[in-house]
Structure 1
Amino acid sequence: MTYTVNCSILLTELPLLERPAAAKAAGFDAVEFWWPFDGAVPADRDADAFVAAIRDAGVQLTGLNFFAGDMPAGDRGLVSWTGREAEFRDNVDAVVAIGEALGTTAFNALYGNRLDGVDPAAQDETAAENLAVAAAGVARIGGTVLVEPVSGAPRYPLLTAADALAAIARVPDASNLALLADFYHLAVNGDDVAAVIEAHAARFGHIQIADDPGRGAPGTGALPLERWIARSRELGYAGPIGLEYKAQLDDAFAWLAEASADA
């Protein structure tokens, strides 16, 4: 099994630039990150330091998010944020530059919350335009833009796989746009994860996992993650599995050792 460690939610006891090396020390060869900078366009020195941390650790950056706004304050992306189109498009160039430097090809574009006083249809039109720009940008480096249903954000409109696929369908020539199937978010939102897998697994752009309740490590809750992953593989998903759960540093990966022992 190929796992990629999401270093924006795991290993957070460590400074951000130390996390790729910590993932390597824990036995992983791949990592992914949410946008690791405060603004849409990082200073050159900050981008260079991030790239160096990945390279020096000897891991592959398999995924990177576009800038999503102020996540701690509740923002969940700029894709549909009418009025911030220029900022998003500047971020596309920054994302592509990092992706090109590190050989990254999967880029998660969080859709954004519904806005007070803005017609949802207008936001969806903004989103389609921004997704088209993002897709064209990352196409230059062989990349795919991922669209993700999210839980725990009351004003985020993409809750199910069908919602995300509808957003993709609004983009003309969406050949390098794909569903990010986060099994935790889908399950928490009440989607039929098994049915989503049967219908779409071969075309998943990425899979991420956490258990429910609690968004903890696999085995801490009740989700049949192992079965869902195995079925996705059977149906053609060949990419890595993103570990995007909450756990303390000292036991973040204990479940893997236990799974290996059981096998």
Structure 2
Amino acid sequence: MNPRRLTVNCSMLFTDLPLLRRPQAARDASFNAVEFWWPFDDAVPADREVDEFVTAIDDAGVRLTHLNLAAGDLAAGERGLLSHPQRAREFVDSIDVAVGIGDRLRTVGFNALYGNRVSGLDIAEQDSLAVDNLAIAARAAATIGAQILLEPLSAIPDYPLRLADDALAVADAVRREHRIDNVALLADLYHLSTNGDDLDHVLSHHTGRIGHVQIADAPGRGEPGTGTMDFARYLGALDEAGYQGWISLEYRPALPDPFSWIAEFADGAH
């Protein structure tokens, strides 16, 4: 694992600080890259909010590698808007905002959470809407050389993407129906492991379709070493398979130094 390819998820780490101070905290911890979930209350924030967010990252001297598109109220259990007929407009509206930020901060991937199943709504209707909206997002991301990412999630019963193959099937549908090929898998090893996916198979057979990797240990979603996952094997498998993308630290810190584990993989450097 090359420590220069680590990016810190500032929506899960440094949460004792206000959001706009977290990029500097990441830099002070010797990281050069960060990522965020959607950092605004609204799908279309005021220009001032966008400028403040960009300035905080610029001033810290870090790169914004990845950004979630608007995904609704995560605290209330929402996990994306793009497949929800009454909410999808918010998702589409957030695309231009996100791509504009990404263009300024060299962002390479935008995570588009799929959205929970809506009770009483035809599943095929939701899936068709999702594919169309992903195509809109992918075309916009392509203008700055970025990807749209699809992430399987755990612990949300109504969220339909559980395994890597679920996300890849949606990416296949976007390619088939819209001839767009910059929709990739976000392989969050914690979620995939929790859902019972075969990580060895995913990492060895789908490397070319993985656009981004996020890590946290299971159980508990803490730092590597706080659970039972074999990160030496998984990170080694990614390197061996030729994965050259970023690896995100997206965990809930449980140790006094949430980055001490990195020394085991990178001779103490981070």
Q: TM-score, normalised by structure 1?
A: 0.96
Matched, 1:211 2:217: yes
Structure 1 residue corresponding to 2:186, chosen from 154, 157, 180:
180
Distance in 1 between the 2:15 and 2:208 partners?
32
CA offset at residue 260 of structure 1? 4.9
Give the structure 1 partner of residue 118 of structure 2.
115
The DSSP-based 3-state class of the residue aligned with 1:251 is: coil
Contact 2:71 2:81 in 1 (8 A): yes
Aligned-pair identity in percent equals: 56
| Residue 262 to residue 52, structure 1, CA distance change in 2 (3 Å) | closer
Q: What is the 5 A alignment of 1:134-213?
A: 134-171=137-174, 172-213=178-219
For the 8 Å contact 1:79–1:111, the answer to whether it is kept is yes
Q: CA deviation at 1:203?
A: 2.5
Match of 1:239 in 2: 245
User: What SS does structure 1 have at the residue aligned with 2:8?
Assistant: strand
Structure 2: 5+ residue stretches without partners: none
Equivalent pairs counted in the alignment come to 263
**1:106 counterpart residue number:** 109
Q: What is the CA–CA distance in structure 1 between the aligned matches of 2:104 and 2:261, rounded to whole Å?
A: 33
Shift of 1:257: 3.8
8 Å Cα contact 2:138-2:148 kept in structure 1: yes
SS in 2 for 1:170: helix
- Paired residue type of 1:139: A
Kindly indicate whether residue 20 of structure 2 is the aligned counterpart of residue 17 of structure 1.
Answer: yes
Give distance in 2, aligned partners of 1:138 and 1:259: 32
SS of residue paired to 1:52: helix
The ranges of structure 1 where at least 4 consecutive aligned residues each deviate by more than 6 angstroms after the TM superposition are: none
TM-superposed deviation, 1:250: 4.2
8 A Cα contact 1:217 1:252, kept in partner = yes
Cα shift at 1:256: 2.0
SS in 1 for 2:186: strand
User: Structure 1, residues 116-151: CA drift from partner, whole Å, max 9, x if none?
Assistant: 111111100010000000001111111100001001
State how 1:224-263 maps to structure 2 within 5 Å: 224-247=230-253, 250-257=256-263, 259-260=265-266
Partner of 2:43: 40
